[in-house]
Structure 1
Amino acid sequence: MSVLSTGTSALLAFQRALGTVSHNVANVNTEGYSRQRVDLEARPGQNVGAGYVGSGVSIQKLQRLADGLNFARQADSSGELGRLKQLSTYADRLDGLFSNSSTGLATPWSNFYGTVKGVVSEPGSSIARGAMLDSADQLAARFRAMDSQLTSMGTESDQRLAAQVDVANQLATEIAKLNEQITTSGSNASPDLIDQRDLRIDKLAALTGAQVVPQDDGALNVFSGGQALVLGARAGKLTLAQDPYRADRKVLSMDTPGGVVKLPSGSLSGEIGGLLEFRERVLDPARADLGRMATAFAVSMNTQNRAGVDYTGAAGADLFSIVPPPVNANALNTGTASFAASITDVSALKGSDVELRFNAGTWSAFRSGTGQALTMTGTGTAASPLVVEGVSLVVSGAAANGDKFTLRPTSEAAGSLQLIQKDPNKIAAASPLTAKIDTTNLGNAKPGTMQVTDATQFASFTTAQIDFIDATHYTIDGGAPQVFTPGQPIAGTSWSMAVDGTPEAGDSFTLSRTPAKSTDNSNARLLAALDDKTVLDGGTMGMTTGLSRITSRIGSDSANAQMNLEAQQVLHDQITAERDSVSGVNLDEEAADMLRYQQAYQAAAQVISAADTMFQTLLGAVRR
Structure 2
Amino acid sequence: MSDLFQVGLSGLRAAQTQLSVTGQNITNVNTPGYSRQTAIQTTNPANLTGAGFMGNGTKVVDIQRIYNQFLTNQVRSTTSAAAANEAYRTQIEELNSTLSSTASGITTGMQNYFGALQTAIEDPASLPARQLFLSEAQGLAGRFNSVHAQLSTQNRFINDQMTTVAQQVTRLAQSVAGFNDAIAKAAANGAAPNDLLDARDEAIRQLSGYIGVTVVNQDDHSINLFIGSGQPLVIGKEASVLQAAPGLADPSRMDIRLVSGNAGQDVTGLISGGELGGLLDYRRDVLDLALNALGRMSLGIASEFNQQLAKGLDLNGNVGGPLFNDINSRDMLDLRSRGRESNQSDASLDVRITDTSQLSTSDYELTFTSDTEFTVRRIGDNRVLGPFDLNAAPGDPNGRYPAFDGLDLSQQPDAGNFRSGDRYLLTPTRSAAQGMAVVMTEPQQLAFAAPMAAQAGLDNRGTGAVSQPVLLGGSGPLDMDALVALTGPEGVSFTYSANADGTGTLELSADPGPVSPAAITIAAPGAAQQFEFTLGGQSFSMGLSGRALDGDTFTVSFNQGGVADNRNALQLSELQNRPVLGKTEGARGFSLLDGYGDLVQRVATFTAQARTESEANQAMLVQATNNRNSVSAVNLDEEAASLIQFEQYYNASAQIIQVARTVFDTLINTMR
Q: TM-score scaled to structure 1, two decimals? A: 0.94
- Paired residues of 2:449 and 2:566 also in contact (CA < 8 A): yes
- Paired residues of 1:457 and 1:494 also in contact (CA < 8 A): no
Q: Does 1:345 align with 2:355?
A: yes
1:271 alignment counterpart: 275
C-alpha distance in structure 2 between counterparts of 1:475 and 1:418, whole Å: 45
2:437 alignment counterpart: 418
- Paired residues of 2:514 and 2:535 also in contact (CA < 8 A): no
- Paired residues of 1:35 and 1:64 also in contact (CA < 8 A): yes
1:125 alignment counterpart: 126
- Paired residues of 1:458 and 1:495 also in contact (CA < 8 A): no
Structure 1 unaligned regions, length at least 5: none
Residue 337 of structure 1, CA deviation: 4.0
1:230 alignment counterpart: 234
Opposite residue 561 of structure 2, the aligned amino acid is: A
Residue 424 of structure 1, CA deviation: 0.7
Residue 507 of structure 1, CA deviation: 6.6
SS in 1 for 2:84: helix
Q: Does 1:303 align with 2:307?
A: yes
Q: Does 1:433 align with 2:452?
A: yes
Q: How has the CA–CA distance of structure 1 residues 369 and 457 changed in structure 2, closer, same or farther, with 3 Å as cutoff?
A: closer
Residue 96 of structure 1, CA deviation: 0.8
Q: Does 1:594 align with 2:662?
A: no
Q: Does 1:448 align with 2:469?
A: yes
2:480 to 458, 466, 469: 458
Q: How has the CA–CA distance of structure 1 residues 114 and 480 changed in structure 2, closer, same or farther, with 3 Å as cutoff?
A: closer
Q: Deviations over 1:15-41 (max 9, x none)?
A: 111111111111111111111111111
Q: Deviations over 1:396-417 (max 9, x none)?
A: 3322111111211110111111
- Paired residues of 2:310 and 2:478 also in contact (CA < 8 A): no
1:138 alignment counterpart: 139
Q: Deviations over 1:379-408 (max 9, x none)?
A: 457978621100111233322111111211
- Paired residues of 2:455 and 2:466 also in contact (CA < 8 A): no
1:496 alignment counterpart: 539
Residue 617 of structure 1, CA deviation: 2.3
Opposite residue 490 of structure 1, the aligned amino acid is: F
- Paired residues of 2:313 and 2:320 also in contact (CA < 8 A): yes
Opposite residue 57 of structure 2, the aligned amino acid is: G
Q: How has the CA–CA distance of structure 1 residues 455 and 389 changed in structure 2, closer, same or farther, with 3 Å as cutoff?
A: closer
Q: Deviations over 1:466-515 (max 9, x none)?
A: 44698688659523673469866422226432122489997754333323
Q: Does 1:215 align with 2:234?
A: no
1:283 alignment counterpart: 287
1:541 alignment counterpart: 590
Residue 317 of structure 1, CA deviation: 0.7
2:192 alignment counterpart: 189
Q: Does 1:150 align with 2:151?
A: yes
2:613 alignment counterpart: 564
Opposite residue 434 of structure 1, the aligned amino acid is: A
C-alpha distance in structure 2 between counterparts of 1:255 and 1:390, whole Å: 40
Residue 328 of structure 1, CA deviation: 1.2
Segment of structure 1 superposing worse, 172-181 or 474-483: 474-483
C-alpha distance in structure 2 between counterparts of 1:221 and 1:178, whole Å: 12
Residue 250 of structure 1, CA deviation: 2.0
C-alpha distance in structure 2 between counterparts of 1:338 and 1:468, whole Å: 57
SS in 1 for 2:429: coil
Q: How has the CA–CA distance of structure 1 residues 451 and 129 changed in structure 2, closer, same or farther, with 3 Å as cutoff?
A: farther
Opposite residue 151 of structure 1, the aligned amino acid is: S
Opposite residue 628 of structure 2, the aligned amino acid is: R
Q: CA RMSD in A?
A: 2.4
1:611 alignment counterpart: 660
Residue 228 of structure 1, CA deviation: 1.4
Opposite residue 372 of structure 1, the aligned amino acid is: R
C-alpha distance in structure 2 between counterparts of 1:312 and 1:481, whole Å: 26
- Paired residues of 1:124 and 1:517 also in contact (CA < 8 A): no
- Paired residues of 1:455 and 1:494 also in contact (CA < 8 A): no
Segment of structure 1 superposing worse, 318-327 or 502-511: 502-511
1:521 alignment counterpart: 566
Q: How has the CA–CA distance of structure 1 residues 388 and 528 changed in structure 2, closer, same or farther, with 3 Å as cutoff?
A: same
- Paired residues of 1:314 and 1:459 also in contact (CA < 8 A): no
1:391 alignment counterpart: 407
Q: Does 1:362 align with 2:366?
A: no
Q: Does 1:250 align with 2:254?
A: yes
2:425 alignment counterpart: 406
Across the two proteins, how many residue pairs are aligned to each other? 623
- Paired residues of 1:377 and 1:388 also in contact (CA < 8 A): no
Segment of structure 1 superposing worse, 485-494 or 264-273: 485-494
2:385 alignment counterpart: 374
- Paired residues of 1:458 and 1:494 also in contact (CA < 8 A): no
Q: How has the CA–CA distance of structure 1 residues 411 and 472 changed in structure 2, closer, same or farther, with 3 Å as cutoff?
A: farther
- Paired residues of 1:32 and 1:198 also in contact (CA < 8 A): yes
Q: How has the CA–CA distance of structure 1 residues 242 and 586 changed in structure 2, closer, same or farther, with 3 Å as cutoff?
A: same
- Paired residues of 2:245 and 2:255 also in contact (CA < 8 A): yes
Residue 9 of structure 1, CA deviation: 0.9
Segment of structure 1 superposing worse, 532-541 or 480-489: 480-489
- Paired residues of 2:40 and 2:63 also in contact (CA < 8 A): yes
SS in 2 for 1:496: strand
- Paired residues of 2:305 and 2:323 also in contact (CA < 8 A): yes
C-alpha distance in structure 1 between counterparts of 2:607 and 2:128, whole Å: 42
Opposite residue 458 of structure 1, the aligned amino acid is: M
C-alpha distance in structure 1 between counterparts of 2:532 and 2:96, whole Å: 44
Segment of structure 1 superposing worse, 461-470 or 426-435: 461-470
Residue 452 of structure 1, CA deviation: 7.1
Opposite residue 457 of structure 1, the aligned amino acid is: D
Q: How has the CA–CA distance of structure 1 residues 481 and 6 changed in structure 2, closer, same or farther, with 3 Å as cutoff?
A: same
- Paired residues of 1:441 and 1:508 also in contact (CA < 8 A): no
- Paired residues of 1:376 and 1:387 also in contact (CA < 8 A): no
Residue 436 of structure 1, CA deviation: 2.6
C-alpha distance in structure 2 between counterparts of 1:469 and 1:259, whole Å: 83
C-alpha distance in structure 1 between counterparts of 2:355 and 2:473, whole Å: 19
Structure 2 unaligned regions, length at least 5: 396-400, 498-503, 522-528
Residue 105 of structure 1, CA deviation: 1.1
C-alpha distance in structure 2 between counterparts of 1:217 and 1:39, whole Å: 23
Residue 49 of structure 1, CA deviation: 1.6
Q: Deviations over 1:189-234 (max 9, x none)?
A: 3211100000000111111112211111101111222221111111
Residue 527 of structure 1, CA deviation: 1.3
- Paired residues of 2:515 and 2:533 also in contact (CA < 8 A): no
C-alpha distance in structure 2 between counterparts of 1:79 and 1:474, whole Å: 78
Determine what percentage of the aligned residue pairs are the same residue. 29
Segment of structure 1 superposing worse, 141-150 or 271-280: 271-280
SS in 1 for 2:569: helix
Q: How has the CA–CA distance of structure 1 residues 567 and 507 changed in structure 2, closer, same or farther, with 3 Å as cutoff?
A: farther
1:532 alignment counterpart: 577
SS in 2 for 1:499: strand
Opposite residue 107 of structure 2, the aligned amino acid is: A
Residue 446 of structure 1, CA deviation: 3.6
Q: Does 1:178 align with 2:179?
A: yes
Opposite residue 119 of structure 1, the aligned amino acid is: A
Q: Does 1:511 align with 2:556?
A: yes
Q: How has the CA–CA distance of structure 1 residues 487 and 407 changed in structure 2, closer, same or farther, with 3 Å as cutoff?
A: farther
Opposite residue 602 of structure 1, the aligned amino acid is: N
Segment of structure 1 superposing worse, 572-581 or 385-394: 385-394
Segment of structure 1 superposing worse, 483-492 or 69-78: 483-492
Task: Give runs of aligned pairs for residues 195-206 of structure 1, distance below 5 A.
Answer: 195-206=198-209
Residue 44 of structure 1, CA deviation: 1.2
C-alpha distance in structure 2 between counterparts of 1:369 and 1:115, whole Å: 37
Q: How has the CA–CA distance of structure 1 residues 620 and 147 changed in structure 2, closer, same or farther, with 3 Å as cutoff?
A: same
Segment of structure 1 superposing worse, 442-451 or 556-565: 442-451
Segment of structure 1 superposing worse, 426-435 or 411-420: 426-435
